[in-house]
Each structure stands twice: as structure tokens, then as C-alpha cells.
Structure 1
Amino acid sequence: MIVGAAVCPGAPFLIPGVADPLALARADLVDACRTAVRPLADADRIVVVAGGRRTVVFPAGTVGSQTGAPAVLRSDLHPPVCRPVLPVGAVVGQALLERTFPGGVPVPVDLVETGDDPDIAAAAVRHRAGARDALLVIADGAATHDDHSPGRRDDRAGPFDDALAAALAAGDPAALADACADGELAAALLAVTGPLRVLAGLTSTDPPVSAELLHRAAPYGVGYLVAAWRWPGR
């Protein structure tokens, strides 16, 4: 059962030490992320959902350097699972948890990489579901908003992010799935929407009771969206 979800961008400057001046300049974004993430501690487990090259579920005990140094992923398997580097989105998710809970995250944290098929990732999360789970979804809107974007300017970026923002603000899993449905368009816009598809899939039959879009901006030509979905009373 999902009791809460936070959607935050995978902006590398959210990782302390990577580009601290940019993080200071976007203090409003950092604060919005903290606001979205903080209630996740009310769950029994937090699942970080981030983009990745393959679908992998890493259980609680993930440890990694915020500066991209090698990471060790401890599991209940022996020997522990090891990988040299976590995807950027996963490291950002870890950094946001550490920013929000500087004394340590009070509940176990799992990590899921979406791979090429977010539906498989959603099924993996569902298979390992705990009694009361919360999701930290790391995703980006279009990265083609202007001439200084990471990608070439594309006028489809605005409408694309409009649809994502509207679905997140409404707490509408079906609308969110529709907004992410065109994978070729998302790829052309350099958007990271696989984690959003996981969120939509996991909540399709159980929409949130409340939803709020806490932040939307594209200061560097990349669509940054922060949202909070809640299921009060669980």
C-alpha cells in the first residue's frame, strides 16, 4: 500500500559538492524538494525510483558517495551486490534524502532503476511491496526549452511539460500515464519520464487523496517539477 509519493527532478546540482552555487541560486527548488520528501518518513519504507539502463531492485542498505565515487549496495544476499557507479537520478534521490533527514533517514530505503520498461519496474516494486510504502520519484521534464538547453530548442517542450504538470497537480495517474505515453517524444525532448510511468502504474487503481504541484521552472532549459501525492489516514 502506497501512503505517499514525492516527485523531484534529477538535477545534478542537488547533489552537494557538484555545483553548490547553482543549488544556492535555486533555493526555492531545494526547499520544495524538502517539503515533498519530508512526509515520506511516515511510511514503513521509502522506494527511490530513478532512471537506469536496466530494471534492478536494490533493497535497503544502499550506500553511495554523493560525488560519484564507487558505491556499494548491501543486500540480504551474500556476498553483497556491488556496482561501480549509481545512475545520476539515484544519487540525486539519495542526496535529497540526506538533505531532508541530515540525522539519517528514519526508515529503510530501497532503490529501483526503471530500465527500458517501466512496467517491469512497477511490477518489481509491487512484488516487494511492504505494508506502507512511500515513493521518491526522480524525473525530469523536457530539456529543450530554450537555446541554452542541454538539447536543441524544441517548441514541443512547453506543451509536454504542461501535461506533466497538470497531471501531477491533479493527482491523476491516468493523465500522468497519457502524458508519458509517447516514449519517442520524451526521448527527443531529453525528458526522463520512466519513473513517472512507474508512479502512474502503481497508483492507477488507487489515486492520491490529495496532490500538490510545489514547484515548476525551467531555469536552465530543463523542466523541473516537484510534486507531492498523499493518501492521508493510512
Structure 2
Amino acid sequence: MLVAAAVCPCPPLLVPEVAVGAAPELNAARAACTDAIGVLAAARPDRLLVVGPAEPSGQGSHAQGARGSFRGFGVDLDVRLGCPQGEDEADGEAAGRELPPSLAVAAWLLERTRWSTAPLEGLGVGEPLAAERCIQLGGEIAGRADRVALLVMGDASACRTLKAPGYLDERAAGFDEEVGRALGAADVAALKALDAELAHELKAAGRAPWQVLAGAAEGASLSGELLYEDAPYGVGYLVAAWS
């Protein structure tokens, strides 16, 4: 059963080493992510599932200890999912399959907060995954332990300004506002009803992970709080905690 969830954005710029030279626009987002993960730890789950968007090569399960890297972003920095720096807990399979960027950011956040509350695993989900399958997958995840927590990674629209990665789309602000409202209210029905085609057009990579969360939270009666909402660089970033 789902007992807690944290929703965080997943831009590599959250990692200070990647953002070197940039203004500190994301300091508040980093602090909110830390607070949200604190809610997960306080719930004392038996298992943590980390869910984030992924390209085909990163889809599927990633074991605790799986390796991720920010070398593709010009930074000599590696991370391990659920392993504090210096520990070596990955088996050969885990070590051999690299985390997608969203889960690498999650690994960095968990390392930063020294996660040790419960064993964990990662799950990369594809952007085209239909809402019905996302919801079904969430239900399956919630049944994996008596007390399950979710760390859900994903960005909102990438079309908030003229200089945004997806250019300006007048629909983007309204879409992000509705997602923020739903995450802040732990509104499962609203998350299930998100328009997958519109999310795709607005380049909202968080749509599938949010709908996995909706499926996992069905019947859990959790309350939510929106901890951060902004669109630096023209991309919507949201942080929420459910407990």
C-alpha cells in the first residue's frame, strides 16, 4: 500500500556540478526536493520505488546500486541509486545498466539526503506509455510491500516562454497550473485524466510518472502539499509531497 510520495522535477541542472556558472534559480527547488524526500523517510516505508521518464534504453527496472552518470552533460560525476558515495552494493547486473537521466537526478537527490530508510529500486517509464497502463503499473507497484513510498521524477511543460526548449505555447501555463493543483491536492482523479496527447505536445515529461503515482495512490487517501512551483528556463518544475 502506498503510504507516501514525493514528486520532484528531473533537470540535470538540479545537480550543482552540472549547473556551474548558472545563476542559483534552482536553489529553492533543491530545498523543496529535500523536504519532500524527508516526508518519504518520515513515513518509514518498507520499500521505495523511484519512477522517472526514460528513453527506450532506460525503460524498465533498475536495481539498487545501479549506476548513473552526468558525463553526457560535460561533468565528471557518477552516482549510484540508493548507495552513499564510497559504498559498493551493486551486483554485476545493476552495475552494467546505466540509469536514465531522470533516475540519475533522483540518485543524486537520495545521496544528498543520505537515504537509508528502506531498500529501493528504480523504474524508467516511456513517454508514450498509455494512461491506462501507467495507472495499472502504479497499482502493481503499490502492492509490492505493506508500506510503499514513491519518489516520482518528471518535469511539466517545456513551452512556457519564447526561449523554452519547446518554444512558447499558450496552453502550457494552464496545463502546468492544473498539474500543480492536482499534485498539491493529491487529486488522483485529475492526474488520471491528464491529456496524454496535450502533454506530449507541451513536452511534459512527467505525465506518465504522475499517472503511475495516480494508480499507486488509488484508495490510499493521502493528503498533498505543493512545495514548489516555478518555470525557470521556460520549463515547469513542481515539487509536492503526499502523506
Instruction: Give the shorter-chain TM-score range.
Output: 0.7 to 0.9
User: Which region of structure 1 is more displaced relative to structure 2, 19-28 or 6-15?
Assistant: 19-28
**2:5 is matched with which residue?**
5
Deviation per CA, 1:193-223, whole angstroms, max 9, x where unpaired?
1100100111122231x21000000011000
Partner secondary structure for residue 105 of structure 2: helix
Structure 1 residues without counterparts, runs of 5 or longer: none
| Aligned counterpart, 2:118 | 107
Q: 2:107 aligns with which of 94, 100, 110?
A: 94
Inter-partner Cα distance in structure 1 for 2:12 and 2:208: 18
Cα distance in 1 for residues equivalent to 2:23 and 2:30: 7
- 8 Å CA contact 2:102–2:153 kept in 1: the answer is yes
AA partner of residue 46 (structure 1): L
Distance 2:212 2:204 in 1: 15
The residue type equivalent to 2:234 in the other structure is G
Report Cα offsets for 1:15-56 as digits up to 9, x if no partner.
242114447332111111100011212222211100123541
How far residue 124 of structure 1 moved from its aligned partner, in angstroms, is: 4.9
Counting only pairs closer than 5 Å after superposition, residues 1-234 of structure 1 correspond to structure 2 as 1-22=1-22, 24-41=24-41, 42-54=44-56, 55-67=59-71, 80-81=93-94, 83-101=96-114, 104-115=115-126, 116-117=128-129, 118-119=134-135, 121-122=137-138, 124-126=140-142, 129-178=144-193, 180=194, 182-192=195-205, 193-208=207-222, 210-230=223-243
CA change 1:224–1:72 in 2 (3 A) is: closer
Q: Deviations over 1:142-187 (max 9, x none)?
A: 0000011011210000110111011111111111112x2x212111
Amino acid at match of 2:184: A
Provide the secondary structure at the position in 2 that maps to 1:25. Answer: coil
* TM-score, scaled to structure 2: 0.81
TM-align CA RMSD: 2.7
Q: Which moved more, 1:108-117 or 1:14-23?
A: 14-23
Q: Structure 1 length normalisation: TM-score?
A: 0.84
Gaps of 5+ in 2: 84-89
Could you tell me how far apart the structure 2 residues matched to 1:52 and 1:81 are? 17
